[in-house]
Structure 1
């Protein structure tokens, strides 16, 4: 049975937190996700799989972080483990991470993919797709962050590949296409070229303008709302065209979300 999880960190039962820190179950919500001690989880993971010689090096990477947050620690661990596994030709451990029952360990595995310079963008996206379809919200969010820099560096090819994902039956994979390419994004660097040339995103956006999944529609709306802060005319004109071409409640929903910053900046009109 799916757990709801505690509403605050102090309400997480001790036995549940211990199981989470041992990597024996998934977090049930954001509260639990933030409450896991990733250093303890890392130590338990390496002890169980007899890789304790990796621990000191990865902990050192965490200690060197200018700012320790859940996301920066997550990234430091993922990259640190990838580098050590690569040096030791330890592909078995990377496979273990990718299919581990603990969601945070799978999050670390996504950074191993993003950091792997031997993979071109097509191979990177092929390997990250299963994580985009992960049943856990945390893995789905971290996976696009892990490969976003490579997507931005290879934007034309990335857009061509991701536009093909927009027809996937899995709404999580469809959502990845817009969330990974949001011009401003959340907790990540902006993609400047998309802020100035949002038309590059049309191969993805056009295919999702009437998506049946709210999860996807929200992401499309947020993508366009990002652009509205730098290229409001583009968003206004696109939404006007969509409104005339696609008379569906799904498109109307996206347009409302896409135009919210533009509408708020216009303010009340005088008589």
Structure 2
């Protein structure tokens, strides 16, 4: 436990960014069994310090592709954390799961999470996989990424809609016509859809030169 306490002390000194916390998680997981790592991560998540809960979240992300219990903890428990910094790490943890598991193989879970009733779960997908078309599978199938994201254009959460709009904007840099054609189908008389449209169409409506 002495080494664990040193890692905790180290991450608690982090005031900006996440790389130090991420590297601490990598150090922790190396050489430890999955069961031990999961047990400690669950305990760390009870900490009052957001840095320690972020450490736990990174650890769970490392385990998730091989541990349904870790993936469930991320979805059911971490998503309810009220610190936005922990939610940023949740997005990274979900992307790590998809990377380790394979993005195409992760489609059922991606669809499950992106349809979840908890806004932070939905956003962990939309934000975690940015830039979507820079990820394997979605690089070759950008239309699938657009389809998944577009279903949240009228999301009740402005937090989620912002992530969706920005993600579609990212994709439009390389797939302008694909995004343009999708946006033409949207009902922008709906205020929430219009907000997402404004973000997604930033480069579409920008005049060349």
Superposed pair shares fold, TM > 0.5: yes
Compute the displacement of 1:108 (Å).
0.5
Give me the whole-angstrom Cα distance separating, in 2, the residues matched to 1:160 and 1:203.
14
Q: How does 1:234-245 map to 2 (within 5 A)?
A: 234-243=178-187
TM-score by length of 1: 0.63
Aligned to 1:128: 74
Deviation track 1:41-85 (CA, whole Å, cap 9, x = no partner) reads xxxxxxxxxx224467x59xx9xxxxxx83221101122223365
Aligned to 1:4: none
**Cα RMSD (Å) of the superposition?**
3.1
State whether residues 114 and 146 of structure 1, in contact with CA within 8 Å, keep that contact through their aligned partners in structure 2: yes
Q: How does 1:81-160 map to 2 (within 5 A)?
A: 81-83=28-30, 86=33, 89=36, 92-116=39-63, 119=66, 125-129=71-75, 130-152=77-99, 153-160=101-108
Compute the displacement of 1:110 (Å).
1.4
Compute the displacement of 1:118 (Å).
6.5
State whether residues 148 and 180 of structure 1, in contact with CA within 8 Å, keep that contact through their aligned partners in structure 2: yes
- Alignment size in residue pairs: 202
Unaligned runs of 5+ in 1: 1-50, 63-68
Aligned to 1:219: 163
Larger Rg: 1 or 2? Answer: 1
- 2:98 matches 1:169: no
- 2:5 matches 1:52: no
Aligned to 1:248: 190
Compute the displacement of 1:93 (Å).
2.6
Give me the whole-angstrom Cα distance separating, in 1, the residues matched to 2:151 and 2:26.
34
SS at match of 2:129: coil
TM-score by length of 2: 0.80
The structure whose RCO (Cα within 8 Å, separation 6+) is larger is 2
Give me the whole-angstrom Cα distance separating, in 2, the residues matched to 1:127 and 1:97.
13
- Of the three residues 119, 144, 151, the one matched with 1:200 is 144
